Amino acid sequence: DAKTTQPNSMESNEEEPVHLPCNHSTISGTDYIHWYRQLPSQGPEYVIHGLTSNVNNRMASLAIAEDRKSSTLILHRATLRDAAVYYCILRGDMRFGAGTRLTVKP
């Protein structure tokens, strides 16, 4: 089983922020937290990753809890193109769970 736990689905309204949670209570000190997303009929696409500090890039922000047992992917303004399945994985484990299916409503 994957070492991460995510909600099966979430909904958001267009142009509102979205916070996608991930629990990884058994994370080791060297595990990087990676987020990928998968649009229908496509391969997964890298979103962001981090180790201990919060990270920002042009796609999203990653907030990592101080004890590293959870993290949150933040999409600052959801668009219809952000509708996808979002996967949180521990890079050392390379196991993808079922992810969170994000629906964005216009």
- Which chain residues interact with other proteins by CB under 8 A? 2, 30-32, 34, 36, 42-46, 49, 51, 87, 90-92, 94-99
User: Do 54 and 72 meet the contact criterion of CB atoms below 8 Å apart?
Assistant: no
Tokens read off for 95: 């196991």
CB of 14 to other proteins, least distance (A): 26
Residue 75 CA to residue 61 CA, distance in Å, equals 7
Question: Residue 95 Cβ, how far from other proteins at the closest point, in Å?
Answer: 7
- To other proteins, the closest distance from the beta carbon of 2 in angstroms equals 7
CB 12 within 8 Å of CB 102: yes
Most distant CA pair in the chain, distance = 40
Q: Toward other proteins, which CB reaches closer, 73 or 87?
A: 87
Q: Residue 100 and residue 18: Cα distance in Å, rounded?
A: 12
CB of 91 to other proteins, least distance (A): 3
Complex with other proteins: residue 63 or 101, whichever CB lies closer: 101
Residue number with CB closer to other proteins (18 or 89): 89
